[in-house]
Structure 1
Amino acid sequence: MNDQYSVLYPTYHWFVPSQFNIAQACVHRWAENPQEGRRIAIYHETEVGQREIWTYSRLSETTNKLSNGLVKMGVQPGARVAVIMGQRPEAVAAYMAVFSVGAIAVPLQTLIGADGLATRLRDADARVAIVDATTAPDLLQAQAQCATLSQIVALGFEHETVIPWRSLLARQPSEFKSIATKSDTAALLLYTAGTAGAPKGALLAHGSLIGTLPGFVAAQNWYPLKGDVFWSPTEWARGTGLMNALLPPLYFGQSLVGTLGDFSPTRCLEVMERYRVTNAFLLPKAIKLIMHHIPAPRDRYQLALRAIMASGESLDAGAFEWCRKALGVTPNEVFGQTEMNAVIGNSHKKWPAKPGSIGRPYPGHQVTVLDSRGERCAVGAVGEIALNRYDIHKHPDPALFLGYWRNETATQSKFSGDWCLTGDLASIDEDGYLWYAGRSDDSFRSSGHRIGPGEIENCLLGHSAVSSAAVVPKPDSHRGALVKAYVVLRNCAKGLDAQVLQKELQEHVRTRLASYQTPREIEFVDTLPLTNTGNIRRHILRAREQQRSATVAAARK
């Protein structure tokens, strides 16, 4: 194919207006024109199949009413307002109302429990929360631990201490003039996944939406085209759900689908068929579930997919090829973080996608990998992925976060000069593609070799018996550490002989990677420890190995 990257990347220039408000850009400007206001903003479907349609005009009117309600509740610019709701239109109105009044939205996931909510609400110093019935009971428990949380607006949940959504909106006018915010005004307080410790709050500006658009447009094969309909099962309360699934389609005035209920491969395909979804954002684990349960989806479903964006973990070569053959779509893998969304990735219509690679830096972002001295790594050498504060034209990169909430020490440690460090390892090949090698705090040395778990895990995932895998160091007095793999088997392999399977998996890795990357030990387990966002908590497995080694050493004394 024609590789257009060498033209697209150097010619891209940012245009970030001095004043920019996400709510105005995503909702109100469309509703101001009666014809555009009648366009469908959201197709919504509940877990029991109830459906409704929200136009941009309806979404704007609901946002205005809630904005007036928030102002009367005393919410001022800069105040933190928690939004804890599933994929429903009211959640969109809640975010847009917070943005409209100049406050800071604090998205919180519905499954983190009362203690998880309390920890984040206290840290954010939130005084108001907007919640639906799914999480309202947990929030009421959390409120007892949060001295500043004084007001709760609840949808579909009645309690003497909450303000009913419908009652609040019924008393409010449908006109509201949004606060004029600068593009660098704080809009979102997003909490990191906490894969290696306590979650931190990353503060993002209104202009961060502009910063994510090049990656979104490229990953969605030059979105939007006429008739595009977008959907993702990823929670909108997650940073990736907001920045990769909710806000960009609204920014372009297109239609998106919101669904409530648990994910399943069957429902995923049914939703995409029913709403003629053309563009999707799927986590690799969701792709793998569909692949395992419905190997030939186009035999059963009439799909309209033209683009799939995959992010959250590395998409192994097997899943990549399955998407191409079974879905008829080449997936575009995307790399980013809460602090810098969608800065690396693929766009296979514009440049070739290499299976297993996380892609090239998207236009507008200056990305490299740095060694321990903060110098750029040579081709093929593993280093830490870093994003510069400025693009190649010396303009500030709007995708970069403002800093960690009330944690200047953590903010400073995130940077090396103008480079923002991701904590993720990768190498860059001669064509400028990045190859993920795991987290820097997950890397270790074995017999003098630096080991990144990501490449080994992806190799293991390429074996037909493996469902998921995690690689960690096992302490060893001679080598410093041995490469150890924890493996969850697919159901079809659970009855096989463990010793035979271990040798087969070791040979599988040995013939595909360097010999020193071959796991010396493989432990088969039923599950791996995960964060509530599905990321592997390798530090728990590392601690387990350290404890086991200490116990063995003590027994020998």
Structure 2
Amino acid sequence: MVNRYDELYQGFRWEVPERYNIARACCGRWAEDRARFALYWEDESGATAAYSFWDIQTAANRLSNALAALGVRRGERVALVLPQRPETAIAYMAIFQMGAIALPLSHLFGPEALEYRLDHAQASVAIVEPTTLANLWAIKERLPHLRHVIGVGGAREAGVHSFEALLERASAQFNPVDTAANDPALIIYTSGTTGAPKGALEAHRLLIGNLSGFVHSHDFFPQPGDIFWSPADWAWAGGLFDALLPTWAFGLPILGYRGKFDAEKAYYLLGKYGIRNAFLFPTALKLMMKAVPEPNKRFRLNLRSIMSAGEAVGVTVIEWARAQLGVTINEMFGQTEINYVVGNCQAAWPVKPGSIGR
């Protein structure tokens, strides 16, 4: 193949506007087209839903107004203790467009992990679901900055605001604030492998910084018919900047799944929704290879690109994916503070197992 690395390198220029907001880039500008799908969603019970960008924007407008009515102001931190569900994506857009700061927290965190991060970030509002409410409630009295808790999907306790009721009462019209590209958008905490977790304050422009890597590690995303899925938690930098936000930045749909990762279910989702692009951890790929070594004999797959990160994929999995999935996996490396650092693009230069970049 022709190695295009030098051509791409020489032709690349950063284009960062002075004014920029993630919500406008990922949703607002697409919302006028009511036929443009943003999100397909399913959970492990079999419940399904579909949302256009207009649906997401309308709900985000209502939530922005509801948060403002609760006293949330520009620069305040709003915590999301939620798995992959529509309300999670809606909340991000609502928080970003009102100039507040999103604080994504894993739905798997226990009380101690939640308490440290919520207290350190001085979050004023937390949005939870039934599986995460109990852990928050156990520490609520030790969080002096936390003024309000919003529950989605039936998360109820005395004093918890119903997400659905708040949106029903709020206006669907909202004027987004004007933000600079360098204004803060979110705080993501490191894992804390060396000392206490550190909160990385990340600006709206961080999305721009990740798009070039995303485009190349998905072999020049977007292409006609592309639709994305990743089991990566939307509270993690990878789930946000390697899945949800860049997909929406190009106005294309993503699949959200609320449930534990299962290899058979992964194949089912890939086939049912005609997924073309995926971000899958090496562990997930190994589980899929072991569970169904020859997936095309059982599932109708239409994959075009796979990006992987977290550890080395390995020669065996790369060769299996080429033979059985028809895709050469592009590996990448990222960090919480900036996410995408370096990665492969098999459509532009030869990929060597165990190596990232050129």
* In 2, Cα distance between equivalents of 1:195 and 1:93: 31
AA at the equivalent of 2:9: Y
What does 1:83-232 correspond to in 2, within 5 Å? 83-155=80-152, 156-232=154-230
The DSSP-based 3-state class of the residue aligned with 1:43 is strand
The DSSP-based 3-state class of the residue aligned with 1:225 is coil
* In 2, Cα distance between equivalents of 1:295 and 1:79: 49
* In 1, Cα distance between equivalents of 2:47 and 2:168: 23
Q: Offset at 1:60? A: 0.3
Corresponding residue for residue 2 of structure 1: 2
* In 2, Cα distance between equivalents of 1:322 and 1:194: 34
Q: Offset at 1:141? A: 1.1
Corresponding residue for residue 270 of structure 2: 272
* In 1, Cα distance between equivalents of 2:303 and 2:315: 20
Q: Offset at 1:50? A: 1.1
Q: Offset at 1:275? A: 0.1
The superposition leaves residues 194-232 of structure 1 with CA deviations (integer Å, 9 ceiling, x where unpaired) of 233321111110000000000000011111111111000
Corresponding residue for residue 259 of structure 1: 257
Corresponding residue for residue 16 of structure 1: 16
Corresponding residue for residue 367 of structure 1: none
What does 1:3-82 correspond to in 2, within 5 Å? 3-31=3-31, 33=32, 36-82=33-79
Corresponding residue for residue 322 of structure 1: 320
What does 1:422-441 correspond to in 2, within 5 Å? 433=358
* In 2, Cα distance between equivalents of 1:285 and 1:198: 26
Higher relative contact order (CA closer than 8 Å, sequence separation 6+) = 2
* In 2, Cα distance between equivalents of 1:281 and 1:225: 16
Corresponding residue for residue 469 of structure 1: none
The superposition leaves residues 353-410 of structure 1 with CA deviations (integer Å, 9 ceiling, x where unpaired) of 10111x22xxxxxxxxxxxxxxxxxxxxxxxxxxxxxxxxxxxxxxxxxxxxxxxxxx
Return the TM-score normalized by structure 2. Answer: 0.98
The superposition leaves residues 155-212 of structure 1 with CA deviations (integer Å, 9 ceiling, x where unpaired) of 1211112001111111111000111100000101001122333211111100000000
The DSSP-based 3-state class of the residue aligned with 2:112 is helix
Corresponding residue for residue 444 of structure 1: none
- The structure having more radius of gyration, on CA atoms, is 1
AA at the equivalent of 1:87: Q
Q: Offset at 1:10? A: 2.1
Q: Offset at 1:343? A: 2.1
The superposition leaves residues 444-496 of structure 1 with CA deviations (integer Å, 9 ceiling, x where unpaired) of xxxxxxxxxxxxxxxxxxxxxxxxxxxxxxxxxxxxxxxxxxxxxxxxxxxxx
- How big is the alpha-carbon RMSD for the aligned residues of Structure 1 and Structure 2? 1.0
AA at the equivalent of 2:117: R
Q: Offset at 1:305? A: 0.2
What does 1:158-557 correspond to in 2, within 5 Å? 158-357=156-355, 359-360=356-357, 433=358
* In 1, Cα distance between equivalents of 2:19 and 2:80: 24
Return the TM-score normalized by structure 1. Answer: 0.63
The DSSP-based 3-state class of the residue aligned with 2:9 is helix
Q: Offset at 1:142? A: 2.4
AA at the equivalent of 2:28: H
The DSSP-based 3-state class of the residue aligned with 2:225 is coil
The DSSP-based 3-state class of the residue aligned with 2:200 is strand
Q: Offset at 1:28? A: 1.0
AA at the equivalent of 2:237: G
Structure 2 gaps, min length 5: none
Structure 1 gaps, min length 5: 361-432, 434-557
AA at the equivalent of 1:98: I
Q: Offset at 1:128? A: 0.5
* In 1, Cα distance between equivalents of 2:320 and 2:199: 36
The DSSP-based 3-state class of the residue aligned with 1:268 is helix
Figure out how many residues of one structure are paired with residues of the other and give that number. 357
* In 2, Cα distance between equivalents of 1:206 and 1:287: 32
AA at the equivalent of 1:281: F
